[in-house]
Amino acid sequence: MPKHHLREMRNSNRQSPGSSIYPESIQEIRRSLYWILEEHGVACLNVLLFLDGSSCQGFLVLSHLKGMARFPSPEVTVSSRTLGGREVCFQIGAWEPVLSVKRRVASELRVPDFTIQLVQQGVTLKSETMLKELLRDDVTDPSLDLVIVRIPGQLLDYRQLLHKLVHAANHSRFEEVRQLLDEGAGFDAEGNLLLDFGSNVLHVAVRGRLNDLALHLISQGVDLESCNEMGRTPLVQACIKNTPEVITALLAARADVNIKDSSGRSAVYYAAMKENAAAVQQLIEAGADSEELESVVDLESCNEMGRTPLVQACIKNAPEVITALLAARADVNIKDSSGRSAVYYAAMKENAAAVQQLIEAGADSEELESVVDLESCNEMGRTPLVQACIKNAPEVITALLAARADVNIKDSSGRSAVYYAAMKENAAAVQQLIEAGADSEELESVVDLESCNEMGRTPLVQACIKNAPEVITALLAARADVNIKDSSGRSAVYYAAMKENAAAVQQLIEAGADSEELESVVDLESCNEMGRTPLVQACIKNAPEVITALLAARADVNIKDSSGRSAVYYAAMKENAAVVQQLIEAGADPEELEMLGCSGLRPLQTPKNWRSYLTCWAPWKM
């Protein structure tokens, strides 16, 4: 307490002669004193009463204090927003009435105070209510969060205002909507909702993210199941706009969670599409039957493409939403119009955790076998396993193989999972697929390694095209056929030679070797559409190590392509004397080198030093 106040209290302790005031006890004085202090907003104050021996003088101190005490009242921070979104913030004394706040707001907005209503948590405040009554006792920094509802007043045509509001909303002019709301559109002169305002404008409020307006309308009990031109309820619209505060208010008001829009999509579908796990959980709980503890929310509703909320969550790769839906026992096997299931999309998104969740959700607890349909195919005939191999997702492949996904299903182009794994040069996946298809008794692979794509290429051929040595090794270890040719007549060894991969050529030759005769049964004479053998191709590529490997396997050196040229011709064209020597020693016809002297081959196709090669074959010619 300021010192001058204490001095005044001491000076007032002198009672005038002849006074008839009766004394009170010190305890009563103390209680009365603290009551006065508390009324004036002082939380705690130590007061010293200076008495000169007379209890009557103590009473005089109290009497004088009642007349002179003027302690400052604590201030309240008022944060208020109009339904149109304008903010008005200020501080005001806690012992002021709501009417004072209305006047302050009206002054800020420059409107008459009788056109202002203040709303707290859906309740319209009375003008005579003291602000202190609205505050929580346990809050040290008092504040109020209020919504300002503007009403038109008697002088405005509120029907015309409503017409303008609806017209602006229909044309998505939300700034104009906000302005009209701040003029009182939608309310009559007494502040009541117009009958044709609530449900229609609730849609506008949700769509325009006018949350304060939406919450106010919900608190006023408007129709929550009315649908707009697209068949959407306010709850569906709130899930589309992903406004959790409005969703919570609508569910608290018991909005129907299962109403679908004209495309067949429900609120939970849109919540899943927006990856809003909290909203999905709220919707599931809102539809729960308290007795059976089972969800009655329709989790199998599909959109126009046949996609359920679970399928949509897998497309969006939203793990928390997937978890919530699976906990509510969403069907894992429903497929969309293209034949794709939830597990397919989870595999496509390379989400191994979701794939595992879906498999476990469909597991039969007695047999411990998965009943999730892992063989469902999309419009191209691709299973989740095939898709995982296309995406090169090792963890997904592991999860699907552990659930015994069929490794041999081919897509519409004839490609299997192992084909795509080979194409992606994923040796580990190839090995996994081979082992998954292995027969434990015979230790032989039952994975179809001879399946071909539309061009007739096997996984082994594809691995040679991709020049993937580890994949080639894995396929050869599983006894893949080395002689299957594609539609152009090219075999695995041809592509290995074309890629100048001597190690792969050697592997292919050894894989085809007959252990008894030690002779190669690999077809080294297969030709492409131009009649070129692997040896001819190796000479064109000028790959000496490949040529050496093929010659060691006794490849025919004299086979000519469709232009009549053999391996030795192309070796000479590449000016590779050592290879020419090798080929002649292996039985190549030296006479073919005379072609290099033909005028028709010069100058573009004949090496400048072609005569040097004549010395190579001259001794054999003699």
Q: Which domains does the chain have, with CATH numbers?
A: 3-68 (no CATH), 482-621 (1.25.40.20)
Task: Give residue-wise pLDDT tens across range 541-562.
Answer: 999 999 999 999 999 999 999 9
Phi, psi of 76 (to 5 degrees): -110, 135
Q: What is the pLDDT, as a whole number, of residue 11? A: 47
Q: How far is CA 350 from the centre of its chain?
A: 12
| Average pLDDT, rounded, for the chain | 80
Judged against a pLDDT cut of 70, whether residue 440 lies above it is answered with: no
- Non-local (6+) Cβ contacts of 446 within 8 A are 408, 437, 438, 439
Q: ω into residue 544 within 30 of 0, thus cis?
A: no
Residue 41 DSSP class? T
Look up residue 567 and give its two tokens.
């391996």
Residue 595 in this model has a pLDDT that exceeds 90: no
Mutual orientation of helices 198-207 and 234-241 as an angle, nearest 10°? Answer: 10
Strand blocks (E) in 201-292: 288-289
CA 102, 107, 113, 118 torsion-angle sign:
negative
Percent of the chain whose predicted confidence (pLDDT) is above 90:
44
CA distances from 388 to 374, 410, 582 (A): 12, 13, 47
- CA-closest candidate to residue 319, choices 375, 358, 283: 358
SS3 80: strand
Q: Would you say residue 267 has pLDDT above 70?
A: yes
Q: Which of 152-156, 204-208, 452-456 is least confident?
A: 152-156
Task: Report whether pLDDT(515) > 70.
Answer: no
pLDDT attached to residue 297:
84
Q: Which position has the higher pLDDT, 192 or 578?
A: 578
Q: What's the pLDDT tens digit per position in 273-323? A: 999 999 999 999 987 643 443 457 888 888 889 999 999 999 999 999 999
Give yes or no for residue 598 having a pLDDT over 50: no
* Strands ordered across the beta sheet of 87-93: 87-93, 75-82, 143-150, 116-120, 123-124
pLDDT at 577 exceeding the cut of 80:
yes
Task: Specify the length of the chain in residues.
Answer: 622
When mean pLDDT is compared across 197-201, 271-275, 391-395, 466-470, the lowest value belongs to 197-201
CA angle, corner 415, sides to 410 and 420, nearest 5?
A: 115
- What sign for the dihedral angle of Cα 526, 528, 530, 536? negative
Phi, psi angle pair for 377, to nearest 5°: -120, 155
By DSSP bridging, strand 75-82 and strand 143-150 are parallel
3-state secondary structure of 289: strand
Task: Indicate if the pLDDT at residue 13 is higher than 50.
Answer: no
What would the DSSP string read from start to end of 327-396?
A: HTT--S----TTS--HHHHHHHTT-HHHHHHHHHHTEETTTTEE-S------TT---HHHHHHHHT-HHH
As a whole number, mean pLDDT of residues 243-252 equals 94
pLDDT for 157 beyond 80 = no
CA-based max dimension of the chain: 163
